[in-house]
Amino acid sequence: MSGPTVHDVARTAQVSLATVDRVLNNRGGVSSKAEAKVKAAVAQTGYVRNMAAANLSRRRVYRFCFVVPSGDTGFVALLQAALERERSRLVEEQILIQIIPTHAFDVAGQVAALRDLDCDAVAIMASEAPEIQEEVSRLRASGVRVVTLVADLPQSDREAYVGLDNVAAGRTAAEFMGRFLGASGEVLMIAGSLSSRDHNERLMGFRRVMQERFQHLTLLPAVEGNDDAQSVERLVAEASAARPLVGIYAIGAGNKGLVRAVQKADAKPVTIVHELTPTSRQGLRDGTIDLVLDQDTSAAVVAAVRIMRDLTEGREVSAETGKIRLNIFSRENIQ
């Protein structure tokens, strides 16, 4: 009922089990003739290694770390929750995941967290700072497989990125903004931080499509909300003081403030935000927010674990696996 085993391979190759083992785990000391015989037998029998048995025998337990910003609201909270949800299932598959919370913009703390890591692979959501990239290199050099999560470090030695195509996200936001808005007017872009790569990429995509296709709309200079509700509220109020805004694209966190500001505004602008959190969900429901662009945290966690596992098991990883689909939520498709 089960497939062919190493014994079958040994028999058809007419070599001993030891030789098959040497070839399969390339331990060396095998003549090219014998190696060819084994490989032929593998192909002929259709042998595939029983990973469960292999891991069992070598008493392998995968230890994966997630270095992610702490926080009990918004996106990071959802990410934590998704991690917790996955944990129990993964334990049964001998995969232990450890969550290492850091402070969002605390580079030193993040470096410290990365420094005393002890695991097979790590998924990192951290700032794009040279110190961190160095730490990534060090980790890789010491045999740890590194994956970036949500925020990429393309200059680093990371082996895969799990997250959105942020330029495409910005372009998409612009497209809907443009199509929802027939008349002309001013559109405000609020980033969390103007120095973070992912936010910049979203801005870039947004700007480009606005320029290419929707010239009836005027883009105000991007402002920095610092992922903080109060700042965001103030910024929106200031921007709409002179003349009402027709659209707002909010890239970072702090949507509570955004919602408050929009509710106070004279004319309701088309509002597009990122990440489906309780706040943005409520905003959709009551009409304050028109669209939420979301990267599914569960999908991100699952993809990250899958890639880390593929990497540690020596499988190839296609960039495709890490691509998280951009989910678009409106009031009609949240339940």
Pattern 295-314, binding to its own copies, x per CB under 8 A?
Answer: -x--x---------------
CA angle 192, 193, 199 (to 5 degrees): 75
Paired tokens of 329: 């939520």
Q: Which amino acid is at 8?
A: D
Check if the beta carbon of residue 194 is closer than 8 Å to that of residue 224: yes
Asked whether position 285 contacts its own copies by CB under 8 A, the answer is no
Pick 198 or 227: Cβ nearer its own copies: 198
Q: Which of residues 1, 141, 242, 319 is near its own copies by CB under 8 A?
A: 1
Q: Is 31 a binder of DNA (CB under 7 A)?
A: yes
What one-letter code names the amino acid at 130? P
CB 15 to DNA: min, Å: 3
Q: Which of 13, 83, 169, 272 binds its own copies (CB under 8 A)?
A: 169
User: In this complex, which beta carbon is closest to its own copies, that of residue 118 or of residue 266?
Assistant: 118
Residue 6 interacts, among its own copies, DNA, none and using kind-specific CB cut-offs from 5 to 8 Å, with DNA
Q: Footprint of its own copies on residues 200-259 (CB under 8 A)?
A: 205, 209
* DSSP conformational letter for 203: H
Environment class of 14 (CB within 10 Å of its CB; exposed 0-12, middle 13-18, buried 19+): exposed
Interface pick for DNA out of 43, 56, 108, 112 (rule CB under 7 A): 56
**Shortest separation between residue 24's beta carbon and DNA, angstroms:** 5
Residues 32-41: contacts with CB under 8 Å, at least 24 apart:
37/13, 38/9, 38/13, 40/13, 41/9, 41/10, 41/12, 41/13
Residues 22-81 that bind its own copies (CB under 8 A): 48-53, 55-56, 59, 61
Q: Amino acid identity, residue 127?
A: S
Of its own copies, DNA, none, which one does residue 91 interact with (CB within 5 to 8 Å by kind)?
its own copies
